[in-house]
Amino acid sequence: MAGFATYADLKQALADQHILTRSFGGAGTSGSGLGPWIGYWTTMVRPTPGSAPASTPGTAYTNATGGIVFPDTSPNLKYLIRSLVTFETGNSDLICIKFVDRLVGVGGLVLTSTGNKTVNSTALPRYTDGGGVEAWLEVSTAGSTTAATVSMNSYTNQDNQNARAGGSISFATATQPANALLGPLPLQAGDTGVKSVETINVSVAAGGSATVNLILVKPLFMHGLNGVQDRRTERSWPLPYIHPIRFYDGATIMMIQRNCTNNTTEFRGSLTVVEG
């Protein structure tokens, strides 16, 4: 039987050392200013950094390079029991980081001209109905000169309804560094997730030469970090936080951060799961 029938079963699994840990470390990207989310897909030092996804229909990520990856344990399940993060930064901005399961990436999207851009994203490898799956844009090549405005004007929702169209969203500033994130892209009323994206529409072009990836992710959990330099934070399960954050087989875990003021932030830490 997968999972834990009782609290005692869970504690026994811990006593039996059914525990897996992965460490990670990476440096963020400076230059986008306070506010935007910033990704660590290509700036991790440990594990090996990821690379830009393929162009349409893109790349589906399963235990992929660039992510924090655990062994598959089927039929047993994996749950986060401890997350430990330390960070170093040159300022005292408050920071929030989130860990997401990176599911699909579609590279080479050009925002320098208006109109529809073909995405036709490949099938989701996990969370396959799209419930709770978010679409974000990830700057792969810096060089924008105008804050682009985009919308997801044709996508398939969590109920497998296609040709859905969400509202528009704009980058916060004209220039965006690589790894800056914009999202989640707005959904059509009534939708709760994204199964695939067919086209995005650029209504205000970025100018310059920037390219972006469209990524589909499932957020897993977050950490808040106090605005004092060089601090540590941790969260644990099942106490005090009972929320059972499950890592699916194949999960490709990526870190994103609420950016602080133009300074590079370095993170190090570890994720520990219990399997049973």
Partner 1 sequence: MAGFASFDELISALTVDGQFLNNDFAKLSTAPEAASVWHSLWRVGNFPAAGGDGAAGSGTPGAGGTALTSADGSLVKWADQDPATKHLLGLEVVSTTDCVLMLYDRLVSVSGITLTGTGNKNVGSAALPRYTDGIGVEAWLEVTTATTTTAPIISMNSYTDNDGNTGQSGGSITFPAVATNVDALIGPMPLATGDVGVQAIATVNVSTASGGASAACNVVLLKPLLYVPLVNNLGAIVDCVSMFPSLPQIYDGATLGLAFLASSGTATNFWGKVLAGYN
Determine which residue in the list 2, 14, 15, 123 makes contact with partner 1, applying CB under 8 A.
2
Report the distance separating Cα 230 and Cα 222, nearest Å.
Answer: 18
For residue 3, state whether it binds partner 1 (rule: CB under 8 A).
yes
User: Cβ(102)–Cβ(61) under 8 Å?
Assistant: yes
Largest CA distance in the chain: 59
For residue 126, state whether it binds partner 1 (rule: CB under 8 A).
no
Q: Which of residues 16-55 bind partner 1 (CB under 8 A)?
A: 35
Closer CB to partner 1, residue 64 or residue 187?
A: 187
Stretch that binds partner 1, among 8-16, 82-90, 103-111, 206-214 (CB under 8 A): 8-16
For residue 87, state whether it binds partner 1 (rule: CB under 8 A).
no
User: Cβ(222)–Cβ(160) under 8 Å?
Assistant: no
Determine which residue in the list 80, 85, 97, 253 makes contact with partner 1, applying CB under 8 A.
97
Closer CB to partner 1, residue 5 or residue 115?
A: 5
Tell me the residue type at 180.
A
For residue 57, state whether it binds partner 1 (rule: CB under 8 A).
no
For residue 98, state whether it binds partner 1 (rule: CB under 8 A).
yes
Closer CB to partner 1, residue 22 or residue 218?
A: 218
Report the distance separating Cα 267 and Cα 269, nearest Å.
Answer: 7
Beta strand extents in the chain (DSSP E only)? 19-27, 37-39, 44-46, 59-60, 78-88, 95-110, 115-118, 134-141, 149-157, 168-170, 180-182, 194-204, 211-225, 231-236, 246-247, 253-258, 266-275
User: Cβ(52)–Cβ(31) under 8 Å?
Assistant: no
For residue 169, state whether it binds partner 1 (rule: CB under 8 A).
yes
Provide the binding-site residues for partner 1, judged by CB under 8 A: 1-10, 35, 77, 79, 93-98, 132, 134, 166-167, 169, 183-192, 219, 221-227, 235, 238-244, 246, 258, 260
